[in-house]
Each structure stands twice: as C-alpha cells, then as structure tokens.
Structure 1
Amino acid sequence: MRRLHLTLRALVIIAVILGLLWVGYALLRQRPQDLPWTRLDLSQPVGLFTGRKLAALTGERAQCLALLDRAGIAYTAMKPGGGEGQCGYADAVRLKAEKGMIALSPAGVAPSCPVVAALRVWEWQVVQPAAQRLFGQPVRSITHFGSYSCRRMYGRSQGDFSEHATADAIDVAGFVLADGHRISVVGDWKGEGKDAAFLREVRDGACDLFSTVLSPDYNAAHRDHFHLDQAERGATGWRACR
C-alpha cells in the first residue's frame, strides 16, 4: 500500500511538472492559443485548444457575435427561426461580401455563429495558405450544399437529429480559385494531383477547428462533400474526423 501511495505521488508530481513546462513553453513562444483558459482570438494561428473554444461558442450567441466583431468579420445576424421541437436556430449568421475574403456560394446561406467563426479561421489559416502553396493563387469562393435543414442524421426517420437541424453544420462541395479553376470533392477527391492534395490538406486542417469533419473517406453519403459541424461535444474534446 505504501508503495502504491508513493507511485501515485510520483505520478502527480510528474504531471504537475509536465503541466508547468507546457505552460512555460506556450508563454515563451507567445502562443496563448495553446492554453485552455486564454481568450479565443480568431486572428491567431490554430492552437491546441482552438477547436474546443470554437465548439464552446455553441449556444453563446452574444459571446460569438462579439468575437466576430473583434475579428473585423462583416456579417448580418439573423433572427431566430426554423422549425419546432429539435429543429430551429437562434444564432444564425449570414456573411457579407468582403473584398479579399472567400465568398460562400450560394451567398444566402446562414450557418450558426460558431460555424461561421470556424469557417473564417479555416479560410485564414488553412484554405488560403494551401491554395497559395499549391496553386500560387487564392480561393475566390467555397461552394456548398447548405446549412440549415430540419432532419435527422443521414436522412433517417428515427434517431438523433442532425446538426443541420440547428444550423450548426455546413456541407462544403468544392472551391473556386481566383482564375476560375474549380475543385470539387466529388470529382477530385480520388485524384493524385494538386487538386486532390489540396482537398486532403483542407479536410485535415478542418479537423482542428470543427467538432465533426466527414469526407468521402467516411462513407458513400459524403462522396460529394465535406460535412463540417460544431456539435457541443467538441468543447469537451470528443471530435470526429474522417
């Protein structure tokens, strides 16, 4: 028993030392985004806790809108709407057209604020850097299949409702570069060139920002799009990336 107590004490001491080293490392590198208690800043590079902090914005409308304001993101906050019961949204946001920013096509889509916040970080830190490196030009627009839809998961008649039912998801179908070149999930995912490499890189990068990322690697239902959502469980660390 005494040996067990000594072992537990040693483990606690090691954990404390490792924690202090981690905090010191993050502070010395000036990366507050790697610490769980620091305020989220959408302009900062993606950190260890960026995804969890974005997911924690679910249901926190005022806090999320203030975050968009601080980042200088132009948007229109939508009135609560949608269906009844488990369907409906209270924090939907429609992005405004901005010079130099990626547009969503169709433009009328209004995902929840946490999804919009993650989309902008994805654009700044993942999508545009990948496009510049692989193609030497930026992405002009992201094509999608929509956000809000009052339905259950995978179109079932029973079971849990999809994150689409609360506008906490968006289905990304492809990308259009500045010169008009189109990259589609359905047409380019299985390729071996730059288009396929780009799609895999932006899919992997999305996994650090969204609670759930589902691609053609998941199942046939996602053969033509990336499902990106900001489920509340993402704030606790349980994330899905396929």
Structure 2
Amino acid sequence: MGRWIALLLLLIVGGALLSVWRGWLEVPPQWNPWAPLDVKAAPNWLTGYKLMSLRSDPQLCAQALSSSELRVTRQSDSPDAKCPLIGALRVQGGEVVLSSSFLASCPLAVAYALFERHTLQPAAQAVYGEKVVRLDHLGSFACRNIYNRENGALSRHASADALDIAGFRLADGRTVSVLKDWPKQSQDAAFLRQVRDGACEAFSVVLSPDYNAAHRNHFHVDVGRWSVCR
C-alpha cells in the first residue's frame, strides 16, 4: 500500500513540475525552478539551485544580474592567457561602495549582489541599526595555485570565481575588521559571525578565520564546485 502511495505522490509531483516547465501551470517566478533568479526577491529553498544553474548558462546569469543594482562593465575575453577569462565582469559597486573595483565571473557577481542585499545589510541593521556603506576587500582575480603553492590545483581566484573580504564601514563611520574584530567577544565580532553565516546562503564556499590561520584577516567567498561553510 505504501509503495502505491509513494508512486502516486511521485506522479503528482512529476506532473506538477512538467506543467510548470511547459507553462501550463502558472506559479510566481521565485517558485519556478526554471525562472531566472531575481536578486531582489527574498531567497528561498530554490535559490541555491538557481545559483548553481548560472554556472553553465551565461544568458541565464546575465538575466539574474540584470535584476540587481550592481554596476558592472564587461571585460575583454582572454582565452589564450595562462588563466583564461571568458565573460568576466568588472564589479564597480552597488549600494555599498567598494574599496576598489574587482574582476568577477558572472556567477560571482550575482552571488555578491545577493549577499549584499540579503545578508550584509540585514545583519548591519540587526546588530547596529545602521547600513554598511563600504566593503573592503583584498582582491578577486589572481592567476595562482591554492595558497600560492608551486604545484597543485588552481585557486578559484584564478578564474575570478572568488573574492576575499577584509572588512566593512558603517554609515556612522564605525569600521569593522575581520583581522582585528573576529577574535573579540564584542558586537563587531557578533556582526562578523552573522555575515559569515549568511554568506553561506549566497556562496558555495565561505572560509573565515575559523577555517585556518591563512584566513585570519579575511572571508574567502567563492562559487566553485564544492560546498564549505567555516
């Protein structure tokens, strides 16, 4: 009996998904697995799937990015370089000013826009009642192996899929530093931990000072194939 119920439920779910895919059944875009990701919409259980879909579909990624307020410029492709970049963007900032612009793959740019809107600013409001006005980073693209080792796998930085975040400035002038404030038992440390935890919803990998000493002064965030939140 249980087997027949399970089969019936499977048929119902499969039929519903087919109807949504074919357009026979109208559902809000945020609940449609095949609708482009809307950065402005509140994240839900489909957001992770939609973010992963962007990695293999440049057109879908461009649609998602267009729903954000991030300012970007398209960079020239460098297919023959040691670390080739295709479809890379220079991110110039959004609501939050950047310490400098950075190179990003389209999926990284979308993940950053999602992080800024749905993690960073809500955390700042919850902890301080203030907005973040500036983000300090240590860079994104770097043609190198992991930890700059002579041999080994290329870093996600080598494909502009990673960003190293060092700190923040609030509207009231307060600065928060991963290096200085993470080890403390303070309001700033609580804010940094909330940001780290929330970043894991937008990025596939988030490495903080809890991971190892190499990350004592920054959060490494990337959109690679693995999933780690430390």
- TM-score tier, shorter chain, comes to 0.7 to 0.9
Aligned-partner SS, 1:201: helix
**Amino acid across the alignment from 1:228:** V
- Pairing 1:88-167 to 2, within 5 Å after superposition: 88-97=84-93, 101-105=95-99, 107-167=100-160
Number of corresponding residues? 221
**Amino acid across the alignment from 2:58:** R
Distance 1:18 1:203 in 2: 35
Match of 1:206 among 195, 199, 204: 199
Q: Provide the TM-score with structure 1 as the length reference.
A: 0.80
Cα deviation for residue 35 of structure 1 reads 5.5
Contact 1:212 1:229 in 2 (8 A): yes
Pairing 1:48–2:45 present: yes
| Equivalence for 1:27 | none
Distance 2:13 2:185 in 1: 41
Distance 1:38 1:136 in 2: 34
Contact 1:88 1:167 in 2 (8 A): no
Cα deviation for residue 7 of structure 1 reads 6.1
Distance 2:194 2:48 in 1: 17
Cα deviation for residue 183 of structure 1 reads 0.6
Question: CA 1:216/1:110 → structure 2, altered by over 3 Å: closer, same or farther?
Answer: same
CA-to-partner distance for each residue in 1:59-85, whole Å, 9 max, x for gaps?
A: 533332232223343221111238734
| Equivalence for 2:208 | 215
Question: CA 1:10/1:62 → structure 2, altered by over 3 Å: closer, same or farther?
Answer: closer
Question: CA 1:47/1:71 → structure 2, altered by over 3 Å: closer, same or farther?
Answer: same
Distance 1:17 1:111 in 2: 41
Question: CA RMSD, aligned part only?
Answer: 2.7
Q: Provide the TM-score with structure 2 as the length reference.
A: 0.84
Relative CO higher for 1 or 2, CA cutoff 8 Å, sep ≥ 6?
1
| Equivalence for 1:181 | 174
| Equivalence for 1:3 | none
| Equivalence for 1:239 | 227
Unmatched segments (≥5 aa) in structure 1: 1-5, 22-29
Unmatched segments (≥5 aa) in structure 2: 17-26
Contact 1:91 1:112 in 2 (8 A): yes
The percentage of counterpart residues that share the same residue type is: 42
Distance 1:83 1:213 in 2: 30
**Amino acid across the alignment from 2:229:** C
| Equivalence for 1:224 | 217
Contact 1:130 1:202 in 2 (8 A): yes
Distance 2:194 2:79 in 1: 34
Contact 2:36 2:63 in 1 (8 A): no
**Amino acid across the alignment from 1:53:** K
Distance 1:37 1:165 in 2: 30
**Amino acid across the alignment from 2:85:** Y
**Amino acid across the alignment from 2:185:** E
Match of 2:73 among 60, 72, 76: 76
**Amino acid across the alignment from 1:178:** A
